[in-house]
Amino acid sequence: SSELTQDPAVSVALGQTVKITCQGDSLRRYYASWYRQRPGQAPVLVLYDKDNRPSGIPERFSGSRSGNTASLTIAETQAEDEADYFCNCRDSSGYHWVFGGGTRLTVL
Amino acid sequence: EVRLLESGGGLVQPGGSLRLSCAASGFTFGAYAMSWVRQAPGRGPEWVSGITPSGYNTYYADSVKGRFTISRDSAENTLYLQMGGLSAEDTAIYYCAKYTAGLDGFDVWGQGTKVTVSS
């Protein structure tokens, strides 16, 4: 299967650590990228190549992979982190891309 | 500043056609692969189509293959998506996205253009 599965919603207390997961067979072969999308805005790349951050993304964002599961961890979660988060990677062909359904992160 | 600006969206009847454009600026457009990604209301993004830097190779999601055509004009720094045989399932915000091989991800997105297929 080339699908990526995410929990629809996760909540975290302000200042705490939260892990958002993404499952799919393609993740055994390819690293996930992660995107943050705030309401009414386009997605923004926050993590790539398992655990690398584009410039401007805080060190609080980190990633990992185990088997068919990729994870995005946000430490010291801030109110500004409240958003939808999507994982993404190549499908089994290597030439197409798949996205997860997204996880809505609520900061309490 | 690296920027992508989509245009061409709108309301179209089922079975109709539409051509989307994406104007790129702030980077060497011809050096990067590009993709179109769409997002239906309340749904996750869906990759639609991709094109290599030269334009020689193109790729399509099964859901649009045979109906959509991606192309690029490096002289004009513009990416296109010609859409045909549209149905309600194609209703979405369409984003163009820059792919960077070193990241193996889409590091720049436009603001999107809305396509609504309805009678």
Query: According to the model, what pLDDT value does residue A92 have?
Result: 86
Mean pLDDT of chain B: 96
Query: According to the model, what pLDDT value does residue B103 have?
Result: 86
A42 chain-B contacts, CB cut-off 8 A: 95, 109-112
Query: According to the model, what pLDDT value does residue A8 have?
Result: 95
Q: Which tokens is A39 given?
A: 């309401």
Query: According to the model, what pLDDT value does residue A50 have?
Result: 74
Q: Do A99 and B45 touch (CB under 8 A)?
A: yes
Residue in B104, B107, B111 to test binding to A, most A beta-carbons within 10 Å: B104
pLDDT in tens, A32-87: 999 999 999 999 999 998 789 999 999 999 999 999 999 999 999 999 999 999 99
A10 to chain B, any CB pair closer than 8 A? The answer is no
A38 to chain B, any CB pair closer than 8 A? The answer is no
Measure CA A50 to chain center: 10
Q: Do B106 and A31 touch (CB under 8 A)?
A: no
pLDDT in tens, B89-116: 999 999 999 999 888 899 999 999 999 9
B106 chain-A contacts, CB cut-off 8 A: 33, 35, 43, 45, 88
β-strands B3-7, B18-25 pairing: antiparallel
At residue B76 the predicted structure's pLDDT band, cuts being 50, 70 and 90, is very high
Q: Do A101 and B44 touch (CB under 8 A)?
A: yes
Of A42, A90, A95, the CB nearest to B109: A42
A75 to chain B, any CB pair closer than 8 A? The answer is no
A31 contacts A82 by C-beta, under 8 angstroms: no
The Cβ of residue A76 has, within 10 Å, a number of other Cβ atoms equal to: 12
pLDDT in tens, B29-64: 999 999 999 999 989 999 999 999 999 999 999 999
Burial class (CB in 10 A: 0-12, 13-18, 19+), B9: middle
Instruction: Give the CB-side neighbour count of residue A10, counting CA atoms within 13 A.
Output: 24
Query: According to the model, what pLDDT value does residue A2 have?
Result: 64
